[in-house]
Structure 1
């Protein structure tokens, strides 16, 4: 036990005041919450200085999470002692679920020389979190978003599998039917267009199930919300899923639920563009969007934030109700504001009751930064696509163009 000059007990990790023993040792609530969160979410950190000797005291300007967790272990905290309510219940409910099990990833070349990234399980449902079962009575909207997002992902993937199967020959279909379901593939512009068209109804069903007010809006109001949401999800999911399931790959973004865009293989992306598209300009647009915007802007923001799956679900809800809908009517703006408030209130409950955080202002700041980053990227995408439409790279009747230009 450590004490200061006045005899007050000190946290053995950061040397701030300790209110009691947590996980068997004297520690402050902040360090205890950090340890619980790290173990429960199975997080892995990298040392800031690569020597695992960083200062983790309360006076350290930039705390290294790797060294902080190492210090927790050294002073006697044991991962097996983390028995929070949400951890126990989540384990009971998801022990047999493939969606929550870690998956082994590998790459290979298939018969037509495409790179195939094996991503069974998590790629299908990347944002579904059992942590929401911790306080279902106080986080009903986040729980509903999580459940409906699971359905949305399943429908999107089924639709894409069907589209991919239809584009294959009978012989290839017979040999690949069983393995294509659990893998992601290089994207093509043709598949992107068919996917946008084929999954539109799934987004409508998701919106109506989560937000009953959608049924009271007219067609114009619903279309504005849905187009903005699809574009925002394209940006957010594209980077988030790569960060989560293909860590370290800084030249790839997910472009649909089961296809990815590789900056170094853009020739494949435009391989089915057809004669009416300017392939070189399309490749330039993709390179600028993925490298200069999504990967260089949103990528570092997500790295710093290290959002939990519950926070990712909240971000999805907030992306549906943004505060920058310039063409929205007053009632849409009013409903948007109400849902933003509800989501942030439920997030506060999650921080307080599940993660046991006394100060969660930094978490809210991270989420705000992510939302602003997505907004900035979307605005740039809209401007770039309008320029390329004027250059006849895109047809004004192109569905992808019309979805982006909300």
Structure 2
């Protein structure tokens, strides 16, 4: 420790401001603090300021660079012990504020010297939205990679090699639209987060009106970013493209041949309009902050608000906030005192996107008239009208009677009047009742007596994962390498949760209510877990690759071997971590994934319909033993009170497991260096963040968890052999093939 203190590169914590961790200027009002925080406290006391929290939660982080919330900053000053009685009634310091002569008998608010503020302080809302938008795009791209029917090795090669973007077609569009839907819902939810007064129907209205404009914007924005100016190819999504000289390809096989040419011409016109928006983007060359402003102005479109009177005032206020911050951004960040031309060009793009979205919705009606299938619904290729009809019949069952009394009515477009025969035809073609969400007595939902998952401050969100939970908000920052691991782990959890939602059946409104509300977790079933495992493989491989700083030094076969060896322990850790975060101690429910639970009192449900009935009891007993082992690990996690930083470090240590690398010298060499780096930063994290100088017991407990996850993964692989003998993987061998190599 003495050597550490003698190191000139290590900052003495006693010389840091207790409020914001900037360089201290000495003791002010009884607390070690910088001049800025001391001046802020003095002004607040002298002027008797009564601040309001910007986030309405009173929990804003206060440190150098992000001291914008005055309410939370003042609360922290008082909490640390600054004494109001020591403040003398004298003017505020000149170096922080400009002099301002009062124009009335009341004392005016101090005027900030704008030159002393960082860009994120000048336009805090825009920079916050920019962070949300960048994370949304990152999650969306990873989710798109998950929409594949390839083998596990093909998925691995696609993620590692970053293959060229394929051409989009209609079936692919339907799958992608379904997959990225949770990302869009969470993005809208995150942007609207500071407005808790919005009602569910108002949230739904905003989302539904905003989605077409977001789609039009993304097509133009991705093309502007990734395509050359003279290219005849446009980005359809982040991972697919459309060739303007071959738009027939998009519809071939999805509509009658005589309609393909008409629809391809309509689509070409649609993309030519998008090309105009791309040209405007190239002319303006907008910054990320301008893009963020445009996204929010589109979200609070005045035409959308007009349809809901309660939203008119809110929309106007939100637009004013954005325009005011945009003005400050132009003047003080871009140094453009005369920014009218630039703002005018930005609003022209806004108008073009509105127009393109309106035309797109009109063209959808034409596509619907030409019987363009909306993809696979409940196991059958069906249009949206028939899919919605079937869903209504299941969720609101009624005894229909045949209008002709014959039960043989013809059902086709234009003559679907007989609901009895239409429903019979749906069932005859194979539409699956069990695929409909919210049906009566739904078996996959939790019983009413089951306890609700606990609501934690660290609830995993699809778009805005929570910050690390540190014991002391005034502590030093987490070491850089561990911070990077935490950010990558959060990103993985975001993508994983979005993928899980994306394969859930139901309407957009069902999914919207599930994500924005407090819906109960569903009971896991084997077939659902298989679909999720296949869909999540690409984001798991992407996560493994992202935490491999030296991964490119390995051969691809070595990467593939190590990824498969890591997967069972990764699944065990995920199951325990979700349960630790979401469930109350003593609960008989275990989180199987982020959206599915296992009920220890009803494990038979997991296997019903997947194996012969006489094998269900045996397999349920084996699974119960496995889940009890996991529950024991969760109990030890609660005793240790593991933090998100420790979980991210533990995950990476499991990746660099020495036993898994035994036959691969290259992996052993790289892994030894990575483990050393993690242990070194964990030591600093314990000493300087958790303030535990004697951390042997804590680190030892963490490594005991490490051993438990390895042991549980070993037992899990052994149990897979038993399950395979009982024909559990007869229909879908994906999990068995992957985990058993």
Q: What TM-score results when the alignment is normalised by the length of structure 2?
A: 0.37
Q: Which moved more, 1:267-276 or 1:125-134?
A: 125-134
Matches of 1:308 and 1:326, distance apart in 2: 27
Question: Which ranges of structure 1 fall in alignment gaps of 5 or more residues?
Answer: 1-23, 25-39, 41-77, 84-91, 102-108
Q: Specify which of 527, 543, 547 is matched with residue 210 of structure 1.
A: 547
Give yes or no for contact 1:185–1:258 (8 Å, CA) kept in 2: yes
How far apart are 1:363 and its partner, in Å?
A: 1.3
Summarize the Cα distance change of 1:277–1:178 in structure 2 as closer, same or farther, 3 Å threshold: farther
Aligned with 1:199: secondary structure?
Answer: helix
Summarize the Cα distance change of 1:152–1:371 in structure 2 as closer, same or farther, 3 Å threshold: same
Answering whether residue 697 of structure 2 is matched by residue 362 of structure 1, we say yes
Matches of 2:81 and 2:556, distance apart in 1: 50
How far apart are 1:198 and its partner, in Å?
A: 0.7
Q: Give the structure 1 partner of residue 739 of structure 2.
A: 404
Give yes or no for contact 2:525–2:607 (8 Å, CA) kept in 1: yes
Deviations, residues 351-400 of structure 1 (Å, cap 9, x unaligned): 12212221111111011110011111111111222233244444597222
How far apart are 1:301 and its partner, in Å?
A: 2.1
Q: Specify which of 231, 247, 254 is matched with residue 591 of structure 2.
A: 254
Q: Which moved more, 1:152-161 or 1:220-229?
A: 220-229
Aligned with 1:181: secondary structure?
Answer: helix
Matches of 1:243 and 1:266, distance apart in 2: 20
Q: Give the structure 1 partner of residue 489 of structure 2.
A: 149
Q: Which moved more, 1:321-330 or 1:273-282?
A: 273-282
Answering whether residue 563 of structure 2 is matched by residue 226 of structure 1, we say yes
Summarize the Cα distance change of 1:119–1:250 in structure 2 as closer, same or farther, 3 Å threshold: closer
Matches of 2:474 and 2:569, distance apart in 1: 27
How far apart are 1:295 and its partner, in Å?
A: 1.4
Q: Give the structure 2 partner of residue 124 of structure 1.
A: 461
Summarize the Cα distance change of 1:202–1:254 in structure 2 as closer, same or farther, 3 Å threshold: same
How far apart are 1:133 and its partner, in Å?
A: 11
Give yes or no for contact 2:479–2:685 (8 Å, CA) kept in 1: yes
Matches of 1:266 and 1:321, distance apart in 2: 33
Q: Give the structure 2 partner of residue 115 of structure 1.
A: 446
How far apart are 1:268 and its partner, in Å?
A: 2.7
Q: Specify which of 502, 505, 512 is matched with residue 178 of structure 1.
A: 512
How far apart are 1:261 and its partner, in Å?
A: 1.3
Question: Which ranges of structure 2 fall in alignment gaps of 5 or more residues?
Answer: 1-29, 31-58, 60-76, 83-124, 133-188, 195-437
How far apart are 1:240 and its partner, in Å?
A: 2.4
Give yes or no for contact 2:604–2:617 (8 Å, CA) kept in 1: no
Give yes or no for contact 1:127–1:313 (8 Å, CA) kept in 2: no
Q: Give the structure 2 partner of residue 346 of structure 1.
A: 681
Give yes or no for contact 1:196–1:400 (8 Å, CA) kept in 2: yes
Give yes or no for contact 1:129–1:309 (8 Å, CA) kept in 2: yes
Cα RMSD after superposing both structures: 4.2
Q: Give the structure 2 partner of residue 320 of structure 1.
A: 655
How far apart are 1:274 and its partner, in Å?
A: 5.8
Matches of 2:645 and 2:574, distance apart in 1: 14
Q: Which moved more, 1:387-396 or 1:223-232?
A: 387-396
Q: Which moved more, 1:255-264 or 1:179-188?
A: 179-188
Summarize the Cα distance change of 1:397–1:338 in structure 2 as closer, same or farther, 3 Å threshold: farther
Q: Which moved more, 1:375-384 or 1:236-245?
A: 236-245
Matches of 2:550 and 2:474, distance apart in 1: 25
Summarize the Cα distance change of 1:215–1:400 in structure 2 as closer, same or farther, 3 Å threshold: same
How far apart are 1:278 and its partner, in Å?
A: 4.3
Matches of 2:486 and 2:461, distance apart in 1: 14
Aligned with 1:261: secondary structure?
Answer: strand
Summarize the Cα distance change of 1:260–1:350 in structure 2 as closer, same or farther, 3 Å threshold: same
Matches of 2:621 and 2:636, distance apart in 1: 24
Deviations, residues 144-170 of structure 1 (Å, cap 9, x unaligned): 1111122211211111111113xx4xx
Matches of 2:687 and 2:594, distance apart in 1: 33
Deviations, residues 117-174 of structure 1 (Å, cap 9, x unaligned): 56777043777516599666x7232111111122211211111111113xx4xxxx25
Matches of 2:530 and 2:466, distance apart in 1: 24
Summarize the Cα distance change of 1:200–1:327 in structure 2 as closer, same or farther, 3 Å threshold: farther
How far apart are 1:79 and its partner, in Å?
A: 10
Give yes or no for contact 1:123–1:245 (8 Å, CA) kept in 2: no
Matches of 1:124 and 1:309, distance apart in 2: 14
Give yes or no for contact 1:128–1:150 (8 Å, CA) kept in 2: no
How far apart are 1:327 and its partner, in Å?
A: 6.1
Matches of 1:400 and 1:79, distance apart in 2: 55
